[in-house]
Amino acid sequence: MNVTIIEYGAGNLFSVRAAVERLGHSVTLGSQPGEILAADRVIFPGVGQARSAMDKLRAAGLDEVIPALRVPVLGICLGMQLMCERSEEGDTAGLGIFPLEARRIEGDCKVPHMGWNRIVDPQPPLFDGIREGEWFYFVHSYYLPVSSYQVAGCRYHALFCAALRRDNFFGCQFHPEKSGEAGERVLRNFLDWNGHERA
């Protein structure tokens, strides 16, 4: 299986790559449309600022490639937010896969939301084998609101989206590659997902 991590200059990919390799898969770093179109699984990471990350995706011609993918795609952290319609961060348009907008965390709490927090109502297939209230590692200042696409929530300033899914597109706000055994399980669930719902 060809697992490709999209490399577009937004954040370091070392940890994601190491986590996938620990699960026994070889990893390709892809920055060209051709490389990404040839993948069996695509991981779309991202750290940094939404607008500059979108600029980099457009410059590489990836803003049209990613939404057209038919294989399973996992957006992580900023990658997940960029899969949405818009982000308040730098007031930028995203890839439009989810009709949602990333907003800044506001309330009586520290920003960024950084550390280990519990998820609520985790759904298969991404969260197969994961218990209600399992801990994951988060680092972010913007969040996605609760929606019908949500497959796990998290409580901080309010209830927000910890993970979501639409067809072959998955996203998680936390960092599975930094979330211990539970994170490893989420990555494995994503990589092992064969495109069919469980009965």
Partner 1 sequence: MLAKRIIPCLDVKEGRAVKGVNFENLRDAGDIAELSARYSDEGADEIVFLDITASHERRTTAREWVARVAGVTRVPFTVGGGIASERDVEALLRRGADKISINSAALDDPSLVDRLARAFGSQCVVVAIDARVERGTWRVYRQGGRVTTPRELFEWADEVTCRGAGEILFTSMDHDGMRRGFAVETLARLAGRLPVPVIASGGAGALEHFRDVFTAGKADAALAAGIFHFREMTIPALKEYLARENITIRL
- CA pair distance 126, 187, nearest whole angstrom: 8
Q: Is 77 one of the catalytic residues?
A: yes
- Give the residue, chosen from 115, 129, 145, 195, that forms a contact with partner 1 under the rule CB under 8 A: 115
SS3 28: strand
Check 89, 154, 161, 175 and give the catalytic one. Answer: 175
Q: Which is nearer to partner 1, 75 or 183 (CB)?
A: 183
Check 7, 89, 134, 177 and give the catalytic one. Answer: 177
Distance of CA 156 to the CA centre of its chain: 19
**Region binding partner 1 by CB under 8 A among candidate stretches 64-72, 114-122, 142-150, 189-197:** 114-122
User: Two tokens at 106?
Assistant: 């506001």
With helix as H, strand as E and coil as C, how does 103-158 read? EECCCCCCCCEEEEEEEECCCCCCCCCCCCCCEEEEEECEECCCCCCEEEEEECCC
Spatial contact of 78 and 10, defined as CB atoms under 8 Å apart? yes
- Give the residue, chosen from 58, 104, 110, 131, that forms a contact with partner 1 under the rule CB under 8 A: 110
Does the footprint of partner 1 cover residue 18 (CB under 8 A)?
Answer: yes
Does the footprint of partner 1 cover residue 15 (CB under 8 A)?
Answer: yes
Give every CB contact of residue 33 below 8 A, 6+ residues apart in sequence.
60, 61, 62, 65
- Give the residue, chosen from 55, 121, 137, 157, that forms a contact with partner 1 under the rule CB under 8 A: 137
Binding region for partner 1 (CB under 8 A): 12, 14-15, 18-19, 21-22, 47-48, 110, 112-118, 135, 137, 139, 155-156, 175, 177-181, 183-184
- The residues that are catalytic are 77, 175, 177
